Chains A and B, each alone.
Chain A
Amino acid sequence: MTDALLAITVLWGFVFIYAVMATMDFGAGFWSMVYINRDKTTATNVANRYLSPTWEVTNTFIVALVVALYSLFPKATYTLGTILIIPGSAILLLLALRSAFLVFSNIATEYRKPLTYISGITGIIIPGILISVLPITHGQAIDHVDGVANLDLASLFTSPNTYAFIGFAISSTLFLSSLLLADYSKVSREMHAYKVYLKDGQIFGPLSLAMAFLIMLTLRNEAPWLYDRMIADLPLLWLSIGFFLIAGLGLFLPSFADKGVRGMPRLAVVATILQYLVASYVYGKAHLPYIIYPEITIQEAFTDPNSFRAVFTTYIVGFLILFPGFFYFWRLFMNDKQYLRQVGEEKE
């Protein structure tokens, strides 16, 4: 594997982790808003309990992603920075409002409702704009004036492909987050909330699949080079659909472990994440070697070998140092059954 390929794989890994974490984060914020008026179910509390300790960690991943991009592929920075100024600024503005009001809503309890509405709504728009970076890198909406690349917003937002991506981002955000929250409430033994989230998963699952098909359909006209290369990996695309169906089983079948309970949310969560993994691998592989089609490739944009070695060393050392921290964090907030149940009971 060449160094450039290794670097783009690391980057892809970061994108994938951030995509999963952000999906859960923004989705949980949205559900916490949707169910805020239902006093009977504890759905909002479950969402908040997940969200409060995790949003900061999730946010750090987006910073890590940007840093990795310009440290590994510095020569793409100039073009990327220029074409992303509008969508990038939009994301930053929404993200700032969203994070701040999320924190405020937990502190200023009397104003919780309006504050939660601000963070919930801004939060659900963000994935839509984030994902629009993908169709931008396909290159159709980029104009060249005097050798400088510029984004043509009009052409970006008249393309059905862009909307397919946006629709997919929002529906899959709601899908994966509802699965995760279903699992989370089941572990906390909050069956009311569990049923609510399971039902949401049943609605948004098929919707996400439809959106994914829509992406492929529109991609065929708008970026045939990408479409053809993705179709070349057809077996993997089938595999991805297979994982999706397993997730469906996890949503509709009665549970093997707990008698009388419908659904195995843990299975659905894992299957869905695997589905994302496979699908995004196919997409990423087809996208290579282009960072921005057709002018910026990973080889051209790649950093200097000395810098790459140094950066890569810090990845390894950083991972070794951080891993115990992440593990402890996970155990404390996501896997401490006693804690989750106890909090669940207190709230009831």
Chain B
Amino acid sequence: MSRLRADNVTLAYDQRTVATDLDVAIPDGSFTVVVGPNACGKSTLLKALARMLKPATGGVYLDGRLISSYRSREVARRLGLLPQTSIAPSGITVGDLVARGRYPHQRMLRQWSSEDEAVVTESMRRTGVLELSGRLVDELSGGQRQRVWLAMVLAQQTSILLLDEPTTFLDIAHQIEVLDLCAGLHEDEGHTLVAVLHDLNQACRYATHLIVLRPGGEIAAQGDPSEIVTAALVEDVFGLPCRIIDDPESGTPLIVPARRDRGRPTRHPVVSAHAS
């Protein structure tokens, strides 16, 4: 079953078509990860799923109804999105920012119920930013800030969460921290997650359902990473010769790129004379 799916959509910005006749169904309760080379339309697909971009043809369906037929607030109660770039207004505290995630549940005269307060506190606890509640968002590190934004999306209390490159600009430790957090949300609370990721190995480790897009926005493969990720697929989609081994930690596929020039030692690269 899929609460969220895109039927036969063509995605385009003005004149430039990014993807044609795409069919995507997000399995309920999955941690779906979308990967693909740069500019293959990963983020565009996510935008379409989050009704930020209207498909040129075809339709995106949420709970059986066209997503564009919902009121904006109603979508925001069912589906949360962490965009690639968000702006923290200067001088805002962590607690205030997370509280803004309650907007779709509030009314003009019902702005701050005790439920709102409880949900905001729980969201901050879940993402480990509760003790930062009174701090200014400007003062936080990149990893902390990303967890604050995640807390804001959690405060929206939607069972479907879309994350557009949630690990960009983070160092490796913080990338893993954010992904572990996402995996926890998926496993412990049963959220359906859809994330766009750059790192294939991370995608293979965390995804329960992987969607591999080819340049031109065509689906090259989708399914359980252990079943679909092969050296042939990676070479075909990314143009990267590689070997696939089992990740010694998780047993998931691990992509090991081939050396640039097989058979020659790389200790003395040809270009080293110019590189200083």
Decide if A and B are genuine partners.
no
- Spell out B's residues near A (CB within 8 Å): none
